Structure 1
Amino acid sequence: MLCRVLCIISFVGFVYCRYFIVGPAKIRILDFDPCKEYSNLPMQFIIKSRMFNESTQLLDAFWVLPVDLDENVTMSLKCSRIDKRKTQVNSFILNDVEACSTLQKYVGDLWTYIQSKIGMEPGVCPVKMGNYSTENMILDLTKLNVQMILEGRFRTRIFLKHLSKPLYCTDFTIELTPKKE
């Protein structure tokens, strides 16, 4: 019986392993647009990308943070996996009370790296209001706290609220693939 259970678990693991990346991953941001139903939100985040080589994308970003990213700012993230045949709506959902601590918890060293590259004090919450920018930044997913990530194309919405009022909303599409070393 134990042998049968182990065989079934191995088979299921083999079937679903193609959906996960373990180790270095390549991320490409395909588009990054403000949510259509919200206009003139106080927080602005502009990102432009270009390929440096076949597996590395460079990012230029500008972030206007009109309030401190503190316990009054909540974050919601909904991610849908786009398959050739269908879209798996809400493949990953994150609703958390404090945006800054959520970024530290889930993004970890990558968030600290991003903070240092855009002119914030790394590893510090709350993030102080202000204007932040960077050029030619590489998103190194090996710094991500999560050791295994989903592979594929994802349409994601990130939504931030400050004291229950909309602060920021954007829709973006990313593609995650194993990185060839």
Structure 2
Amino acid sequence: MARLIILLAVLGAEYAHAAYKLSGPYEVNVLEFIECQNMTDNRMKYTTKLTKKSKSEKVWSTNFTLPVDMDENSKMVLDADIWGTTGGWNKNAFHHEVRDLCKLMKQDLPDLYEKLIVHFGMNEGCPVKKGTYEVKDYPTKFGIQKKFPELPYGKFRAEMRMFSGDEYVGCIGVTVEVLETA
């Protein structure tokens, strides 16, 4: 009898684990734009607004000033916290550095890159020249990117710090939710 109970417990645990997926096909939903921890030296200037278009659709608009060219010398450092299962932010859940951000987006995130280039009016593509750009009514939701067919699910708060060489340029903060899709 004890063996049967243990077997049922193991099978139940396996079933519960299989039913709760931690990552997979996804949709990313931008929840809000936030200030980075250190905004005093932020040379990137932007004002961003989220607007509700319908019950299920939000868009964002922004005026964004890029003080330097984003070229092969540019770097982005991404630090993200994840919302814990019992509430509260778990700090430093993810850290990643990307060199030549524009080229990486063009190669690894072509769908998102094309949409952003069009919305920002950066018709020349990479490198992105310094200047002021305007985005109107960009969707807050986007789906699977070819290079990243799966992402971990959850709510994330990220700071994306931009550098030109070793020179700090500025930071953009965002809170997103990665949701499971069928």
Distance of 1:150 and 1:176 partners within structure 2? 7
**Partner of 1:117: helix, strand, or coil?**
helix
Distance of 2:38 and 2:163 partners within structure 1? 15
Distance of 1:30 and 1:71 partners within structure 2? 29
- Paired residue for 2:79? 78
Distance of 1:29 and 1:67 partners within structure 2? 28
Distance of 1:154 and 1:88 partners within structure 2? 9
- Paired residue for 2:164? 162
Say whether the 8 Å CA contact 1:28–1:174 is kept in structure 2.
yes
Distance of 1:149 and 1:141 partners within structure 2? 13
What are the ranges of 5 or more consecutive residues in structure 1 without an aligned counterpart? 1-6
Cα gap change, 1:149 to 1:70, in 2 (>3 Å): same
**Partner of 1:111: helix, strand, or coil?**
helix
- Paired residue for 2:6? none
Q: Does 1:94 align with 2:96?
A: yes
- Paired residue for 1:20? 23
Say whether the 8 Å CA contact 1:70–1:100 is kept in structure 2.
yes
- Paired residue for 2:174? 172
Distance of 1:83 and 1:147 partners within structure 2? 24
Distance of 1:93 and 1:103 partners within structure 2? 17
Equivalent position amino acid for 1:65 in 2 = L
Shift of 1:138: 1.1
- Paired residue for 1:150? 152
Distance of 1:170 and 1:161 partners within structure 2? 12
**Partner of 2:75: helix, strand, or coil?**
strand
Equivalent position amino acid for 1:148 in 2 = E
Equivalent position amino acid for 2:18 in 1 = F
| Residues 136-181 of structure 1, C-alpha deviations (whole Å, 9 max, x = no match) | 111452363322222221111110111211101133222233469x
Equivalent position amino acid for 1:74 in 2 = K
- Paired residue for 1:137? 138
Aligned length: 168
Say whether the 8 Å CA contact 1:41–1:167 is kept in structure 2.
yes
Superposed CA RMSD in Å reads 2.8
- Paired residue for 1:42? 43
**Partner of 1:74: helix, strand, or coil?**
strand
Bigger Cα Rg: 2
Cα gap change, 1:101 to 1:90, in 2 (>3 Å): farther
Distance of 1:13 and 1:175 partners within structure 2? 22
Distance of 2:108 and 2:82 partners within structure 1? 19
Cα gap change, 1:54 to 1:120, in 2 (>3 Å): same
**Partner of 1:125: helix, strand, or coil?**
coil
Say whether the 8 Å CA contact 2:77–2:162 is kept in structure 1.
yes
Distance of 2:40 and 2:113 partners within structure 1? 27
What are the ranges of 5 or more consecutive residues in structure 2 without an aligned counterpart? 1-10
Distance of 1:150 and 1:54 partners within structure 2? 26
TM-score normalised over the length of structure 2? 0.77
Distance of 2:101 and 2:136 partners within structure 1? 24
